[in-house]
Amino acid sequence: MRSSRHRAIIGFILSIALPFSAGCAVQNQSANVIEEPALRSISPFPIGSSIRYLPFQKDLRLQSLQKLHFSSYTAGSDMKMHQVMPMENSFDFSVVDSIVQHTEDYEQRLFGHNLIWHSSTPTWVKNKAKKNPEWLASFMREYIHEYVGRYRGKVHGWDVVNEGLKTAGSGYRTDSIWYETLGPQYIEMAFRYAHEADPDAVLFYNDFNLERDLDKFESMMSMVGDFQSREVPISGIGFQMHIRMDIPNSIIAETLKRAADTGLQIHLSEVDIIFNTHDDSRGGGIQRFDTLTPEMRVAQKKKYYDLVTIYRKVVPESQQYGITFWGFNDRDTWIRRFFDMQDWPTIYDDNLAPKPAFWGVVEALN
């Protein structure tokens, strides 16, 4: 028997579904024939998706969709520290070089995700920093100078620091080798080093739940305000925007507007929209829905429409760095792997066919 909370969630979804039709497309199921409109051709700002490069190279259908729809490319994990420097004194730029070539071939903007992130810091870096804390600051400078400098003029922008604030509530994330060793100033240091390496790159602070955790949002705004007052070279704020269907549009609009009031670039950097929920930890999925119903598909279409419309309305055009989907199909979504739950958070389904959510994005862009 369904709980009252479960019934309430279903009621919410049905209530927002009513004004919207599901939408449909003529879809040729042969391997590489795509008949839906290209998002990049109708979007007034860069439209992107994250891609895991090696699996991408083996899937012709995925390649066709990525080339058709997206004018911006974000690497899923290929550009993180544990991938480009798995061992001490040993950079591995082979995959990143291939990504650069791909984006140049297909006239896509390359966005660098990311430079400093607690979860992608290699074990060898953590171990060495614990033994020799003074080493970490010099390592950060050398790493960023070498990495960003190598791709100067090729990587348009970077998530310089990712998720430097607490998972929930106010304050910095303290369970990080960067914070433990260098204190909160490590974030400022990373921005200064990145700017030294490429003065023209657009430099972002990127985090999740900024659109709905108001304490966390205020911490981010205080940090950004401090940086701006002291001319720390921050150029943008990345809202990951991994959201649930029940996050109120009014809260999303308010936080985006206040962030835009800083004058910085605003990037919706990792967009997906889930029906179920989780506790923000690996394996922490809470399965409330086991099946994607037609009504849920229509409701998700409206939520995608609303999100894109809010972005266009409250963020000035000159500050619209773009919208990036964190993966764009349910088959490959990180949500299922990380949270160990079934969900359908993206604009394409498991068969790589456009969902109603895709058409919600199209309608909002048009």
pTM: 0.91
Count CA within 13 A, CB hemisphere, residue 46. 24
pLDDT at 32: 55
CA 172 to mean position of chain CA atoms: 20
- Which pLDDT does position 20 carry in this prediction? 45
pLDDT digits (tens, 9 = 90+) for 232-291: 999 999 999 999 999 999 999 999 999 999 999 999 999 999 999 999 999 999 999 999
CA distance 17 to 275: 13
Q: How far apart are CA 130 and CA 144, in angstroms?
A: 20
Picking from 79, 273, 259, 56, the residue whose alpha carbon sits closest to that of residue 162 is 79
Query: Which two three-digit tokens encode residue 135?
Result: 């080493």
Confidence category of residue 35, pLDDT binned at 50, 70, 90 = confident
Contact between 286 and 277 (Cβ < 8 Å): yes
> Which residue in 164, 157, 167 sits closest to 202, CA to CA?
157
Residue 11 has pLDDT above 80, yes or no: no
* Of 1-15, 60-74, 168-182, 202-216, minimum mean pLDDT range: 1-15
Strands 277-278 and 265-274 turn out to be unpaired
Residues with catalytic function? 163, 270
- Cα 241 to its chain centre, rounded Å, is 7
Q: pLDDT tens-digit profile of 291-311?
A: 999 999 999 999 999 999 999
pLDDT in tens, 98-139: 999 999 999 999 999 999 999 999 999 999 999 999 999 999
Tokens of 111: 């966005």
Amino acid identity at 246? D
